[in-house]
Amino acid sequence: MLRTALHEIETAEELKKLISENENVMVCCGRMGPMCIPVYDAMEELEVEKPNVKFFSMAFDSPEAWIVRNDQACKGFMGLPFTMYYKNGKVAHATTSIQTMDKIKAVLKDKFNA
């Protein structure tokens, strides 16, 4: 269980439902660790700033997180968190390890025009 202000996705089915119902979705799949917390922190701020994007967290150690861990876009990833960007239900981009606010904003602009 993560302790962030973001809504935490608990099952793979819930993730599938959310990306099918929302055009632009960002999911940070990690732990409460030093590389993950700055990403959650940035997402919490962006949640207010960018209403056309839905921001969620998911616990990396949950068995249900297979949906992110086993995604082809994460092949070769060796650093937490795994951050997924879904557009119209499909993976538009994925990043590994810590990301700055600027890097996240750049992806949101590029992939979601947000």
Question: Contact positions toward other proteins, by CB under 8 A?
Answer: 31-38, 41-42, 45, 75-80, 95-97, 100-102
CB of 9 to other proteins, least distance (A): 20
| Tokens found for residue 19 | 């990306």
Nearer to other proteins, 9 or 37 (CB): 37
Return d(Cα 61, Cα 45) in angstroms, integer: 25
CB of 60 to other proteins, least distance (A): 10
Nearer to other proteins, 5 or 52 (CB): 5
Compute φ and ψ for 43, nearest 5 degrees. Answer: -65, -40
Nearer to other proteins, 66 or 88 (CB): 66
CB of 13 to other proteins, least distance (A): 26
Return d(Cα 105, Cα 62) in angstroms, integer: 27
CB of 22 to other proteins, least distance (A): 23
Return d(Cα 75, Cα 13) in angstroms, integer: 21
